Chain A
Amino acid sequence: MADGDASALETLYRLTSAKLFGVCLRILKDRSEAEDVLQEVYLLIWRRAGAFDPLRGVSPVTWLATLARNKAIDRLRGRKTHLTRPVEDAAHIADGGEGAEAILAARQDEGRLNDCLDQLPERHGSWVRAAFFDGATYAALAQAAGAPLGTMKSWMRRSLLQLRTCLEA
């Protein structure tokens, strides 16, 4: 059983590590740190006990990439971990649908998200992207934009609500 699981993890690593490493590299901008986080992610999956990301009804692919991104951001900000609830039941992982319909849907989703980001007020879309891709915080965005923190928060909050409305249209 342990052999079967190890082989399963190896295959998972083979299939996903390039993308997850890309996610970590983008956030951390340092190969060695990104490799540390990558290792941590796969060992987390392996151990599947103790510190674990709560499953929130996302597809397995999204779950993996989100886990990697969250751990990379943790590392970026010097936190030990923000993941403290054990997995209750793996059945909560939504069936992402691995067929052709899911692939087509994913491509459409990308287009739609980019359209909605483009429809946000000037620069707001790029701020959302900076948060996602670079792990920028409100404070970092405010500093980069030369705006007071409170102003940046209020801009972003409005835009996030607008983004949701656009995506649900």
Chain B
Amino acid sequence: MSAPLPMDEESEIQAAELALGLVEGEDHAMAWRRVMADPDFAAAVGAWEARLAPLFGEIVEAAPGEAVWRQIQAELTPATAAGADRGVVVTLRRRVLAWRGAASLAASLAAALSLALLWPHQAPVSVVRPTPGPPAPLLAANIAGAGPTAVFVAVADPAHGRIVLTPVKVAPTPGKALELWLIPTGGKPIAIGLAASGRPIELRASAAPAAQAGAVMAISVEPPGGSPTGAPTGPVVATGKLQAM
């Protein structure tokens, strides 16, 4: 989209007022008509919405009643679906939702991750699952250390046998590798794989049952190629607990 014309002060104020919802009645109607007619004004309103959006982070999550999804689901008929393979749902899906294809799972997990962590004030809430028979929940862990090294976020999808790591802050140690471990409650560390950002790590079938809420994920510093012994040999630089998203 080409850069919008700079707004005059009055229009800038109107855009802010509209984004906040300060005006009512005819003033409001007029401002909305302008949004429809004037793309530069619409962009100015969008800019204000983006400026204020961080405040959404302070809003506490709350689970709606289960009936809400059932009622939505009851309306999801082909008659109400628009049809073509374009549009907002598809775009949102690309950015926010899980795709069926394995190739896009990493992208969808990263997107799910971003949703959970863009609003970081509360511990991730287990959202009321829509009925019937939903897939196993995604789990997320914020893997943090005491120092500035190796801060990761992990999203685990045990149902599909994958974990995706995103490094938030990494200070790489030359000549060393970072290895990811899964430590079930009261159990021994299970080697998961080398920590590389963005690439999904295959969760072996034997390890998948350990990927449950409450299990700890840890990162240790190992020789290149990972620990030769099957247990951490180097220092553990970060840990985090898996929680349902």
The chain A residues found within 8 Å of chain B, CB to CB, are 1-2, 4-19, 21-23, 25-26, 31, 34-35, 38-39, 42-43, 45-49, 52, 54-62, 64-66, 69-70, 73, 77, 82, 84-85, 87, 89-93, 95-100, 102-104, 106-107, 109-110, 112-114, 128-129, 131-133, 135-139, 141, 156-157, 160-161, 163-164, 167
Contacts and interface: CB of A to CB of B under 8 A. Distances in A.
A148 B81 CA distance: 49
Given A2-B76, A57-B47, A59-B53, 18 more contacts: A2-B77, A5-B76, A10-B73, A35-B68, A39-B68, A43-B72, A45-B92, A46-B76, A46-B80, A48-B89, A57-B1, A61-B115, A87-B87, A91-B91, A100-B168, A110-B54, A139-B24, A167-B51
B97 to A, nearest CB: 5
B36 A102 contact: no
A99 B198 contact: yes
B204 interface: no
Main secondary structure of the interface of B (DSSP, over half): helix
Given A8-B97, A17-B128, A87-B87, A113 B110 contact: no
A84 to B, nearest CB: 7
Given A56-B43, A56-B46, A167-B51, A46 B81 contact: yes
A21 B64 contact: yes
Contacts, number: 266
Interface residues of B, number: 92
A103 to B, nearest CB: 5
Nearest to A60: B95
A66 B60 CA distance: 15
A98 B127 contact: no
Interface of B: 1, 9, 12-13, 16-17, 20-24, 28-29, 32, 35-36, 42-43, 45-47, 49-65, 67-69, 71-73, 75-78, 80-83, 85-93, 95-98, 100, 107, 110-120, 125, 127-130, 134, 153, 166-169, 197-198, 245
